[in-house]
Amino acid sequence: MRRLALLAVAALLAAGCGGGAKTVSVAQVERTFAQHHQTFETEIMAGPSLHSVEPVWPVPRRRAIEPHLLATLTAWNPDTSSGLQAWIFDSAKDARSAQEAAPALADRDVQPGASDTATRPGFVVRHVNLIVAGSASRWAGVEKALADLP
């Protein structure tokens, strides 16, 4: 019986349940990013409007991913041609699954002059259940905002 209980706990931990990092809410993301001058102009929350937007999640299997998406946030500065996109998922596991389904959005940092910056400028980073992609010029503010999130 004890062995069965230990196996159940191990399975929950492997699945990303219990004991892991807390997820961040849409409100936490918006508030924290705004404090670091990274204000989002567009917010689409979960529901019929989120799932009717083309494309909310730029991958072929997006219909399987979208039910786990709480919101998508977007910012664009036409003066600097810099953008920022954030996707907030139900859990860290769902965010990881989304990245696996979209290899172009796998974590990568901003390294000026790096070999892929001409074809894939900017950065993509996952923080618990949040994925943020943006222009290189936005990295300093995003990095500070991510450090202030739980």
Do the beta carbons of residue 133 and residue 124 sit within 8 Å?
yes
pTM, whole model, 2 decimals? 0.74
Residue 112 above 90 pLDDT? Answer: no
Please give, one letter per residue, the 3-state secondary structure of the chain.
CHHHHHHHHHHHHHCCCCCCCCCCCHHHHHHHHHHCCCCCCEEEECCHHHHHCCCCCCCCCHHHHHHHEEEEEEEEECCCCEEEEEEEECCHHHHHHHHHHCHHHCCECCCCCCCCCCCCCCEEEEECCEEEEECHHHHHHHHHHHHHCC
Q: Tens digit of pLDDT for each residue in 42-73? A: 888 876 555 555 544 556 666 777 788 899 89
Residue 93's pLDDT band (boundaries 50, 70, 90)? Answer: very high
pLDDT at 6: 32
pLDDT, averaged across the chain: 76
The residue ranges of every structural domain in the chain are: 22-148
Lowest mean pLDDT among 11-15, 77-81, 100-104: 11-15
pLDDT at 67: 83
